[in-house]
């Protein structure tokens, strides 16, 4: 029996008209929101764990229940994989023991990325796997490429891979990258062919939904983030 999953529905038919303005604002206005203490504590634990690993870093941003982090750790045994999610409930679900080269962290991604950049982290790979699409046109500022943290996300560098079942989200991310002065990545259809990284990916693929992906190689460039 095939999985059943509804496609994203939106009142947008293409990239949001306000996207260039949102990106320009993020690139020119420093973001002064204080970092939450619980994320500072979580980052400190992740920093100590990563220092002991002594190997290249992979970030799994918005890792959900952590199955993607486990799979990335298996596929990349020479790397240290940190999965970050804000939900304690999702992270607490029992999916077996973590590989030695993986760590799951409960933290606000917005704050975690800022701390990682300040610490000088340079991930070799950075995954955004099926982020919440916030599909209403009024929700643009909640999507990662419409959020004030977008320059920080790009500034961390590394090979960034975004996957989504909503083509508009991926197209907007590519356009936002170009607005930030970086080479716009190509948006392509993606067929995992049974090699799934997340439960959502499996569900969408087995429901017959088209999946979309972009990959881009980013320099580590803290200068993308506006100063005070």
Domain ranges (residues) in the chain: 19-224
Q: Which of 70, 56, 74 is nearest to 103 (CA)?
A: 70
pTM, 2 dp: 0.94
3-state secondary structure at position 8: coil
Quote the pLDDT of residue 1. 41
Please name every residue paired with 125 in a beta bridge, in sequence order, or none if there are none: 58, 159
Residue 4 CA: distances (Å) to CA of 55, 135, 213 = 40, 20, 21
From first to last of its 228 residues, what are the pLDDT tens digits of the chain? 445 678 888 899 899 999 999 999 999 998 889 999 999 999 999 999 999 999 999 999 999 999 999 999 999 999 999 999 998 888 887 778 899 999 999 999 999 999 999 999 999 999 999 999 999 999 999 999 999 999 999 999 999 999 999 999 999 999 999 999 998 888 999 999 888 999 999 999 999 999 999 999 999 999 999 987
**Angle in degrees, CA 218, 220, 225, rounded to 5:** 100
What fold characterizes domain 19-224? Rossmann fold (3.40.50)
Quote the pLDDT of residue 185. 86
Contact (Cβ atoms closer than 8 angstroms) between residue 64 and residue 86: no
Contact (Cβ atoms closer than 8 angstroms) between residue 211 and residue 189: yes
Residue 158: Cβ within 10 Å count: 21
């Amino acid at each position: 029996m095939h999985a059943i999953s509804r496609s994203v529905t939106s009142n947008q038919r293409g990239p949001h008209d306000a996207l260039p303005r949102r990106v320009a604002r993020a690139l020119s206005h420093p973001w002064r929101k204080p970092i939450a203490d619980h994320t500072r504590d979580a980052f400190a634990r992740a920093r100590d764990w990563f220092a002991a690993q002594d190997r290249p870093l992979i970030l799994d941003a918005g890792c959900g229940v952590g199955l993607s982090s486990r799979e990335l750790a298996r596929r990349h045994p020479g790397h240290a994989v940190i999965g970050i999610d804000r939900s304690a409930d999702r992270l607490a679900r029992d999916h077996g023991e973590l590989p030695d080269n993986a760590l799951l962290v409960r933290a606000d991604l917005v704050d975690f990325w800022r701390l990682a950049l300040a610490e000088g982290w340079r991930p070799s790979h950075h995954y955004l796997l099926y982020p919440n699409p916030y599909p209403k046109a009024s929700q643009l500022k909640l999507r990662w490429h419409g959020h004030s943290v977008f320059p920080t996300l790009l500034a961390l560098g590394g090979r960034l891979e975004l996957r989504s079942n909503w083509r508009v989200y991926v197209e907007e991310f590519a356009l936002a990258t170009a607005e930030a002065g970086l080479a716009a990545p190509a948006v392509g259809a993606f067929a995992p062919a049974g090699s799934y990284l997340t439960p959502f990916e499996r569900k969408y693929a087995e429901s017959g939904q088209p999946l979309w992906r972009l990959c881009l190689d980013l320099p580590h460039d803290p200068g993308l983030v506006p100063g005070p």
